[in-house]
Structure 1
Amino acid sequence: MIYSGIDTLRPNLFKEAFPYSEIPKVKFNNIQLPMDIPENIWITDTTFRDGQQSMSSMTVEQMVRIYDYLHELDNGSGIIRQTEFFLYSDKDRKAVEECIKRGYEFPQITSWIRANKEDFKLVKEMGIKETGILMSCSDYHIFHKLNMTRREAMQTYLSIAEAALENEITPRCHFEDITRADFFGFVAPLAKNLMGLSDKYKIPVKIRACDTLGVGIPHVGVELPRSVPALIHGLRYYCDVPSSSIEWHGHNDFNSVVVNSTTSWLFGGSSVNSTLFGIGERTGNCPLEAMVFEYAQIKGTTKNMNLKIISDIADYFERELNYIVPARTPFVGSEFNVTRAGIHADGMLKNKEIYNSFDTEKILGRPPIVAVNSYSGLAGIAAWINGYFKLSDIKKIDKNDQRILPIKKWMDEEYANGRTSNIGNDELKELVFKFIPNILGKEETKAI
């Protein structure tokens, strides 16, 4: 059966929710939808496609190295299942060829094209088995960008999807701007038609639900089209799209990209699309590393992933791509587990678990650190020494150790004389060697 949708002469722009002259509105209907977490959920990556558009262009060598890192991070778990590339330039195609040569199972290599058959030729030439196809869904795009009617857009999208299926290529249909689209008037009919094509060709057809402007709302009881639970539930139960064929792609315009992505898992979608460190246009995409931790919390495991690679990737981005990871970025920023408050330092000195929610040293290779400043006190100095020198339980010192008093006196004089900055690691190290010369053995001192 062909579902034609609701054609209209005038676009439905949902102005009651998006008045434009005002901040968008949340419209409530209080409909409570059931959570339905799929047995298998996973993460996909768009660092080389959506992410790369927001920063300096990567070289072939850089893309291949980052692809290697993604493979090392996944470590055969299949949690980071796919990564997608552009195919438009010689450089992009060369990068894809080099990555394909690696022969990795994960992440699988996919591509992205516009909804035209000329672009589709590139996919065939590269021998890629899955491609994303842009299918803008909102009337903002259909009427004002594509200058089409809904019927014309539907026919165009179905034609390119069928061309992919005829060539035994899995189409991943990017429902752009789904959070401002008429769900029952266009999104659902399009999804139903695509599922019909999937049944016809016996090949999966995937749907990537794209929250293009980050206006999705994660909680239940909110009207379409902004409701993430209702969108995912609707694709599952009104359109018969299997969980394995639903992928969420969000942006962070309203600070909700992580919670929206997690919500898509909770209400039936298997896949969440992301980029390393959330790179992407405007406020960025969903951070891949954040979804690794969301996965771990939901499933209670990261299987055999190697999470220490996350820090290596951050170092590579800063060193090779001149990308600065904001210092307070969760899990990857240089100060994400740095304690400054004196009372917190005192707690860390007694037991790291008081102010560290998990063993960051074991899992990420990032031990908790205490930054020393005018507020740190004796506890902060002791905690810094124990952490920096990685002292064993037998050698650890506490805030009552008389040997740290001269260090505290020196610090107090510095701040009394007008200093406002933290005491640097090099300064502290020299002070420790001066006042506690036997803090380490000879070989350990050489290593430091």
Structure 2
Amino acid sequence: MITYNDKTNLLELRRYKYSLQDIPEPNLYRDNYSYDEVPKVTFNYRQVPMNVPEKIWLTDTTFRDGQQSRAPYTAKQIATLYDMLHRLGGPKGKIRQCEFFLYSENDRRAIEACRELGYEFPEITGWIRATKEDFKLVKEMGMPECGILVSCSDYHIFNKLHKTRKQAIDGYLEIVEAALDMGITPRCHFEDVTRADFYGCVVPFATELKKLMDKYQLPVKIRFCDTMGYGVPYPGATLPRSVGGIIYGVNHFAQIPSELLEWHGHNDFYKAVVNSTTAWLYGCSSVNCSLLGIGERTGNTPLEAMVMEYASLRGTLDGMDPTVITEIAEFYEKELGYKIPSRTPFVGRDFNVTRAGIHADGVAKDEEIYNIFNTAKLLNRPLSVEVNKNSGLAGVAYWLNQTLHLEGESKISKNDPRTAILKEWVDKQYSDGRMTFISEEEMEAATCALLPELAKQAGLL
């Protein structure tokens, strides 16, 4: 069949019709996935075009996948974080949806607490296994949309479900059709898609979903779940590991539009963020994330990272408020007792802290030299200097100016005698055998003792 592509203004030939290959034995891609070796990335040099959708957005799985790796949140904690997600997403709702478990009483209380806030975004959605029993929960909760687990690799179909591909797909389609009968938008979670037979199972299944969508004139969404983090962003990589190939293939051969495609990545091989960005670039409108990347094993794609990726790609935050990211980090540490690794980008204690004296000297002359962007404005996190044995006069001077809010003519230089006095105290700490950095409280106490006039002027005394 020949069709005209309004985006490229070219005729395209779509003669390929992929049918389900109901094979008797599982295809486990042992060339790529030999369990006793690091998984191999192979190439066939086939390039697919970048196809960035007109609109892209984020969705959140903090209260679903994120809760699979930590103690459950209370309903109150979920409502607080949901409110923060709403503010972070901004008036345009760039964080479009937030998914929840439906199983426990606490899950249902949390959903009601979030509903009571009355926000349009993030839209509250559910998640179930592809069973009739679970589907009853969706109807009881009155969910407008619900995720349905549809495992699509032979690892899951044969070795977990103990079914054939046809048996599994038929069962999934039955639940999807039940959702459509009820006017519920099904979101099909293609679990383990980066180990699935793409042309023998994934595309044929997606094609059947497209038929149901046409029959009911209702949307059916597909979430590509890179369950083990095997996806790769490299041009010319082979399926099923090619992120671009997966997005392009389902978009092109199964004719599922970009706004109904979503990427859900895991970080087992440090590729969650780049794979999510690649999904955007090759035709996926939505990327699924969790706050701070908290999720199964190594975690999901960090939502705060994709806020920055969005701004980088679009040249605008589109109303998102990234200062809320700092509020979220503080809530996790102070209210939830979660320890964020100190060097985590955007949210870790040290992400914009410099310790080397030569760096502090550069920062004192021009903050842009050693700060990634205006972190004080965008994240409400001013660049800071931590004093240790390597800080030097420049580091101590910067600490004094920043902590005591000294500006203009009041600023202290590294050549100021008062800087030398405090630096001498710092040096003595380390000459006496100290190994750790000096805390803010210790530095302030030393300033009060050694430079009382300056401390009084700054309000420390």
- Normalising TM by the smaller chain, what interval? over 0.9
* Residue 304 (1) aligns with residue 319 (2): yes
Equivalenced residues, count: 446
Residues 1:279 and 2:317 aligned together: no
Secondary structure at the counterpart of residue 133 of structure 1: strand
Could you tell me whether the CA contact under 8 Å between 1:4 and 1:151 is conserved in 2? no
**Residue 220 (str. 1) matches residue 220 (str. 2):** no
1:79 maps to what in 2? 94
Pairwise CA distance, 1:438: 4.0
Name the aligned partner's letter for residue 396 of structure 2.
I
Match in the other structure for 1:420 = 435
Q: Which amino acid in structure 2 is aligned with residue 387 of structure 1?
A: Q
TM-score norm. by structure 2 comes to: 0.94
Runs of 4 or more off by more than 6 Å in structure 1? none
* Greater CA drift, 216-225 or 302-311: 302-311
1:57 matched to 2:72? The reply is yes
Matches within 5 A, 1:48-197: 48-197=63-212
For the 8 Å contact 2:447–2:455, the answer to whether it is kept is: no
1:337 to 312, 328, 352: 352
- Preserved CA contact (<8 Å) 2:46 2:237: yes
Equivalent AA in structure 2 for residue 217 of structure 1: V
**Deviation at residue 387 of structure 1 after TM alignment:** 1.9
* Pairwise CA RMSD: 1.5
- Alignment-mate amino acid for residue 275 of structure 2: N
What are the equivalent positions in structure 2 for 1:195-206 lying under 5 Å apart?
Answer: 195-206=210-221
Contact 1:211 1:251 in 2 (8 A): yes
Taking the aligned partners of 1:250 and 1:394, their CA distance within structure 2 comes to 51
| Structure 2 portions without partners, runs of 5+ | 1-15
Question: 1:123-142 CA distances to partner (integer Å, 9 max, x unpaired)?
Answer: 11111100000000000000
Instruction: Determine if contact 2:86/2:93 at 8 Å carries over to the other structure.
Output: no
Of 311, 315, 336, the match for 2:330: 315
1:375 alignment partner AA: N
| 1:310-367 alpha-carbon deviations (Å, 9 max, x no partner) | 1111111122222111111100011110101111111111110000021101111100
SS at match of 1:171: strand
Question: How many Å apart are 1:441 and its aligned residue?
Answer: 6.8
Whichever residue aligns with residue 388 of structure 1, its letter is T
- CA shift, 1:2, in A, is 9.9
- Amino acid across the alignment from 1:346: D
Identity of aligned residues (%): 56
Cα distance between partner residues in 2 of 1:240 and 1:401: 69
In 2, Cα distance between the equivalents of 1:283 and 1:276?
13
Counterpart of 2:459 in structure 1 is: 445
8 Å CA contact retained: 1:3, 1:193:
no
Aligned AA for 1:322? G
Contact 2:187–2:223 under 8 Å retained in 1: yes
1:166-193 C-alpha deviation (Å, 9 max, x unpaired): 1111000000000000000000000011
Give the Cα–Cα distance (whole angstroms) in 2 for the partners of residues 70 and 439 of structure 1. 42
Distance in 2 between residues matched to 1:237 and 1:62, nearest whole Å: 42
Give the aligned partner of residue 294 of structure 1: 309
Partner SS for 1:191: helix
Report the residue type matching 1:406 in the other structure. Answer: I
Distance of 1:402 and 1:114 partners within structure 2: 69
Q: TM-score, normalised by structure 1?
A: 0.97
Deviations 1:295-323 (A, max 9, x none): 11001111222211111111111222221
1:398 is matched with: 413
Shift of 1:389: 2.4
Query: Residue 399 of structure 2: which of 384, 402, 423 is its match?
Result: 384
Q: Is 2:19 the partner of 1:13?
A: no
**Does structure 2 conserve the Cα–Cα contact (< 8 Å) formed by 1:165 and 1:203?**
yes
Report the counterpart of residue 238 of structure 1 in structure 2: 253
- Which blocks of at least 5 consecutive residues in structure 1 are unaligned? none
Deviations 1:82-123 (A, max 9, x none): 000000011101111121121101100000000012211111
Q: Give the Cα–Cα distance (whole angstroms) in 1 for the partners of residues 153 and 408 of structure 2.
A: 60
Counterpart Cα distance in 1 of 2:456 and 2:221: 60
Quote the Cα distance in structure 2 between the aligned partners of 1:380 and 1:322. 31
CA contact (8 A) 1:404 1:435 kept: no
Rounded Cα–Cα distance in structure 1 between residues aligned with 2:454 and 2:50: 55
CA distance in 2, matches of 1:439, 1:406: 12
**Which residue in 2 is equivalent to 1:248?**
263
Task: Report Cα offsets for 1:245-270 as digits up to 9, x if no partner.
Answer: 11000101001111011110011100
